[in-house]
Chain A
């Protein structure tokens, strides 16, 4: 029985491989994301707080000109290691609308930690209008929403290697992947060639980062590569602020279940030892 099954499986696998090889030419992205090593990958992964703070700086000074962060509140920045006062000061830089007051009027006031991050535009229509009709996506979940398929058979190995960073890998590759189009490739007006882009060969966003663009104070290299890694880590945190807690909790849960399974295994063995089956 087993050998028959293995033969059948082998034939099916070959058929799959052949089939996959013969199509997929026209699919995007043209290049697979470059895999990076992230501090938050693996069973005990943790965010690097310094990196998240630098990422926030890049977001604040560069990305937030176009991209909103709607699902997060300023208070969430406590995760990055900031004190209450630091968060209050950061929030107070922004003016948000509140009201109506007792006179029935809406008014502006400095943002408080409990407020959501203030976006650059009043609404999606305004955002699109300001960007040639291309709506800059919200950052809150982007590190989870932009995760290209890994394809067969990689997606099977991913289960065992615990690979769950396809979103961050994609974003980092995209941010650092702008280049001149190859000969013969015509890129439309207002579009920028990028072989890592998932939905075509060029995208509306121009290269947002350049060397020395943001002044780091902790001595980290001020390069596109470093900016990109930092802001990507920040986006990974924004999309999954519970990541550390989740992984620690999982470690304990699985450890408990393993011990429990071991005890049950011996109990079962003992109970069944008095009969052949």
Chain B
């Protein structure tokens, strides 16, 4: 895909610079002449949206950090004084908090799009793995960011999540103490979380660069799943993808603005408007919505795993839950090798397509279960739903490749497009290769 560059500096300064640091050439090749498949649909715009979301979170975050005080005694108040007394402070704080939610909303669509169109299959395994690393870093960043306002849910969420680490055999308690900077969640925890919350987004930005680099080496997938074969299959990034991504971004921003300005508290939890209090436990400790599916998986394991007919416990329920939860994310790393089908796009996999949508619905249902207390009918539902989650990766993906009879695929992207429309309407501009 990455052929020779078509960048042609015209000005004297452009030529001088190009001979020394060809930054303009890199940008031109990456975002102007870069060839993209001509048949990408709206789901392919979320990569661009996510990049802008990252930038938006970093910019709002840096300004908020100018007003925020990472001290357990005043952190809560400093956030609310920012909202009340700083010009545009309320908008800024909501934009950052709602932004985190919508960042996850966009990343989930991006991940599901990748799963549907087989974007993880060779030669894009590294591209996919880098994406999962970004997802993990996002989760760590979001969790630590949620602790900073030092409300009740911040405090107790930190209590629960750092508790996961104490489940690790032998070293668990030590790891947890290092994480907390003490024996319990306190000022030291808040300080180090603030520091890490500032650091991690820049690590994400670094991995995003690798992610985009890997993407530009292999090229994008497309809804047909057929690789780019000729110049007719692709169009230049600018203006085609640029204007389309811009439109998608603005539509996305309308949704975001709706929440920021009209329902700023909808995506959060009311208890976080109560200052952290180590003596009062909230009735239900629940994470933000985007962690709920994983929270359900964590609590689905309420049994010890041991050697049958003996009293020996190999994995107690706490460790089991933590393993299941981390496993539900770690399994994404293996997806390129778990899927045995040679067909990339689910459009041509009639059986897998059904399982894919089942998986989507099950994931949303897991999210709902995550918001319910671990009691009564919810526990068996959590177990069943968790089983379906893992079954999709460990049973459906490996086995379906052998049994499924895929539909016939088009010979090329151009074939697929022209077959649908009949004929080319005009001479398409040819992308550089």
Contacts and interface: CB of A to CB of B under 8 A. Distances in A.
B77 A144 contact: no
B198 interface: no
A276 B365 contact: no
Nearest to B420: A276
Interface in B246-289: 246-247, 250-251, 253-254, 257-258, 260-266, 270-271, 273-274, 283
A241 B84 contact: yes
Contact of A268 (B77, B244, B270, B418): B244
A23 B372 CA distance: 10
A239 B270 CA distance: 12
Given A162-B263, A277-B417, A257 B254 contact: yes
Interface in B375-433: 375-378, 381, 417-418, 420-421, 423-429
User: Which are the 5 A-B pairs with shortest beta-carbon distances?
Assistant: A250-B261, A145-B273, A147-B270, A275-B428, A276-B421
A16 B365 contact: yes
Contacts of A9: 361
A4 B77 contact: no
Contact of A145 (B253, B271, B378, B418): B271
A7 to B, nearest CB: 9
B303 interface: no
B263 A164 contact: yes
Nearest to A167: B270
A30 interface: no
B270 A276 contact: no
Contact of B257 (A144, A147, A250): A250
Interface centre among A144, A273, A277 (most CB of B within 10 A): A277
24 contacts: A9-B361, A12-B365, A16-B365, A19-B378, A23-B372, A23-B375, A71-B84, A137-B274, A144-B273, A145-B274, A199-B283, A242-B83, A251-B261, A253-B261, A258-B254, A264-B243, A264-B246, A264-B250, A268-B244, A268-B246, A272-B240, A272-B243, A275-B426, A275-B429
Contacts of A4: 353-354, 357
Given A12-B361, A19-B378, A146 B243 contact: no
Interface in B78-129: 80-81, 83-84, 90-91, 94
A254 B381 CA distance: 40
A247 B262 contact: yes
B211 interface: no
Given A159-B266, A253-B257, 11 more contacts: A4-B353, A16-B368, A43-B262, A71-B77, A144-B265, A147-B270, A167-B270, A250-B261, A271-B239, A276-B421, A276-B424
B39 interface: yes
Nearest to A250: B261
A146 B269 CA distance: 10
A157 interface: no
Interface residues of B, number: 61
Contacts, number: 140
Interface in A230-277: 239, 241-242, 245-247, 249-251, 253-254, 257-258, 260-261, 264-265, 267-268, 271-277
A264 B365 contact: no
A176 B39 CA distance: 60
Contacts of A22: 376-377
B190 interface: no
A15 to B, nearest CB: 7
Given A8-B357, A8-B358, A268-B243, A23 B265 contact: no
B235 interface: yes
B417 A246 contact: no
Contacts of A260: 250
A71 B80 contact: yes
B38 interface: yes
Nearest to A265: B247
Given A271-B240, A275-B426, A277-B39, A246 B261 contact: yes
A239 B421 CA distance: 57
Contact of A271 (B90, B243, B250, B426): B243
A245 B83 CA distance: 12
A245 B283 CA distance: 34
Contacts of B39: 277
Contacts of A16: 365, 368
B277 to A, nearest CB: 10
A152 interface: yes
A16 B425 CA distance: 49
A238 B83 CA distance: 12
B90 A242 contact: yes
Nearest to B265: A144
A23 B371 CA distance: 14
A140 B376 CA distance: 37
A164 B267 CA distance: 11
A140 B76 CA distance: 12
Nearest to B247: A264
Contacts of A254: 254, 257-258, 261
A211 B364 CA distance: 49
Given A23-B377, A265-B247, A275-B235, A141 B429 contact: no
Given A4-B353, A8-B358, A276 B91 contact: no
Contacts of A257: 250, 253-254, 257
B424 A275 contact: yes
A52 B83 CA distance: 20
Contacts of B80: 71, 140-141
A249 B221 CA distance: 40
A5 B357 contact: yes
Most buried by B among A254, A267, A275: A275
A164 B262 contact: yes
A16 B369 CA distance: 9
A274 B426 contact: yes
A158 interface: yes
A250 B262 contact: yes
Contacts of A239: 273
Nearest to A145: B273
B236 to A, nearest CB: 11
